Structure 1
Amino acid sequence: MNGHPIIETIQQALAGPLPGVRGQIKMAPQPRAGQINRWEIPNNYREASVLLLLYPHHPPDQLEPDLHVVLTRRPDYPGAHGGQISLPGGRREGDESLLITALREAQEEIGLNPAAVEVIGQLSPLYTPPSNFYIYPFIAYSPVRPAFQPDAKEVAELIETPLHLLFNPAIRREEIWHFPNYGERLVPFFDVFGHRVWGATAMILSEFLTLLQPNGTAPGSDNLTVSA
């Protein structure tokens, strides 16, 4: 399905060793950055999958189409992740595979047709203590921009993000936030069109950027051409 040089480059990178913690930790809230290697994952963790979907998009203000990533803003609700920016995904159900979970959730949340995308690989799993989820990120590619149909109950807003924007060091910021159960933490985030992309989503994106960086660091590089 692909044939696009950037997608082929990504597939080749995914076939090799993944950055793992080295990539994730760059966007980990402190003191998580110092703890990520020491956590013991409890036996009662829950499994979830997310989909990092790549597709070409041609916004009106751009001359050429760019490869994009779709993010979602969750509706505000009580709990650890209400109102946050995330990748499409959710909890594994029954004995379905983790990949099927990612595709099913993307179909339910944003109206993605699973048959219209090519799954090109998987990033490292990530444990999130606040929700006790072990998250498995999958990467998929659509050769055309999907006809998104977000479910209003699960998605408050779609955020179509140019991939090159995530490599811009100017959008990486840090703030001290206060958390009721954890106190003050230094939180790195991507400022994407005024949205703070932080936590597990930022860490997954950071590993992806690290994978694509020629020098193995992330975030921030203008060396990758992503025009589709």
Structure 2
Amino acid sequence: MSNDLRQRLRALLAGPLPGEAAHRDAWPLELPARRLEDPEPLRAAAVLLAIVESEGGFRVPLIERPTSMPHHAGQIGLPGGRLCDGESPRACALRESQEEIGLEPDGVEILGALTPVPIPVSGFRVEVFVGWVDRPPRWRIDAREVQRILEADLDALARDGINARLERRMVDGTVREVPAYRTNGVLVWGATALMLSEMLQIWRRLRSD
């Protein structure tokens, strides 16, 4: 069954993606649905959304950033980072995942990619790669960049959807309610929530077929 699921997911990722229609579910309330384009060029970055197959189902490893980090302290995200010179986005996502959580590249089958997410406030345009891991890996974190790993149940996320709100200060100084996913005792919001929102829309379609 898992091989069939994997191949059908590959096919869905190769077809038209939900894109911003899915991102809107996780967009801050009262803000325009369309993202504002940043006048400055955005730097390239990449993350890996890994689907880990286990006896208990399918899980996505999320990371909690250390509170000591100068940027994104304590936030929940996906393993990844900026591209090195001459590096492809796919290679970057795999390299960063190996460095940050010990996920070996040869244990990851890249099935495709989601819609890139521009983050003008951070100055990055993030490529989101979806990888399949057919057995639970032995995690090994880089404590300088990762506080802990949170294995989120993909089916539970798809079932519960956006189920929380929190107040955040926007770059314009206003305070707005931000939609979030509640999982493993934490709230996932912002760019990571946008990425999850698109993945979950695809996953629901996959599981309903």
Shared fold per TM-score greater than 0.5: yes
Cα deviation, 1:14-44, whole Å, max 9, x if unaligned, reads 11101110111110123445341xx223343
Partner of 2:168: 177
Report the AA paired with residue 44 of structure 1: P
Classify 1:185/1:5 alpha carbon distance in 2 versus 1 (closer, same or farther; 3 Å): same
Cα distance in structure 2, aligned partners of 1:209 and 1:171: 11
Q: Which runs of 4+ in 1 moved over 4 A?
A: none
Cα distance in structure 2, aligned partners of 1:78 and 1:51: 20
Cα distance in structure 2, aligned partners of 1:180 and 1:11: 37
Cα distance in structure 2, aligned partners of 1:141 and 1:156: 23
| Partner-residue secondary structure (3-state), 1:121 | strand
1:15-34 correspondence runs (5 A): 15-34=14-33
User: For 1:212, which of 203, 206, 209 is the aligned residue?
Assistant: 203
Identity %: 35
Unmatched segments (≥5 aa) in structure 2: none
Give aligned pairs, total.
208
Q: Which moved more, 1:15-24 or 1:165-174?
A: 165-174
Cα distance in structure 2, aligned partners of 1:177 and 1:81: 13
1:1-228 correspondence runs (5 A): 4-36=3-35, 39-58=36-55, 65-77=56-68, 79-169=70-160, 172-179=163-170, 181-214=172-205, 224=207
Cα distance in structure 2, aligned partners of 1:4 and 1:158: 26
Report the AA paired with residue 158 of structure 2: F
Cα deviation, 1:48-92, whole Å, max 9, x if unaligned, reads 10000011234xxxxxx2011100000113544111000010011
Classify 1:147/1:133 alpha carbon distance in 2 versus 1 (closer, same or farther; 3 Å): same
Q: Residues 80 and 130 of structure 1 are in contact (CA less than 8 Å); yes or no, is this contact kept in structure 2?
A: no
Q: Residues 55 and 143 of structure 1 are in contact (CA less than 8 Å); yes or no, is this contact kept in structure 2?
A: yes
Classify 1:165/1:33 alpha carbon distance in 2 versus 1 (closer, same or farther; 3 Å): farther
Report the AA paired with residue 52 of structure 1: L
| Partner-residue secondary structure (3-state), 1:96 | coil
Unmatched segments (≥5 aa) in structure 1: 59-64, 215-222
Q: Residues 178 and 184 of structure 1 are in contact (CA less than 8 Å); yes or no, is this contact kept in structure 2?
A: yes
Report the AA paired with residue 111 of structure 2: I
Classify 1:33/1:188 alpha carbon distance in 2 versus 1 (closer, same or farther; 3 Å): farther
Cα distance in structure 2, aligned partners of 1:154 and 1:78: 8
Cα distance in structure 2, aligned partners of 1:190 and 1:146: 24
Report the AA paired with residue 53 of structure 1: A
Cα distance in structure 2, aligned partners of 1:155 and 1:14: 28
Classify 1:43/1:177 alpha carbon distance in 2 versus 1 (closer, same or farther; 3 Å): closer
TM-score (norm 2): 0.91
TM-score (norm 1): 0.84
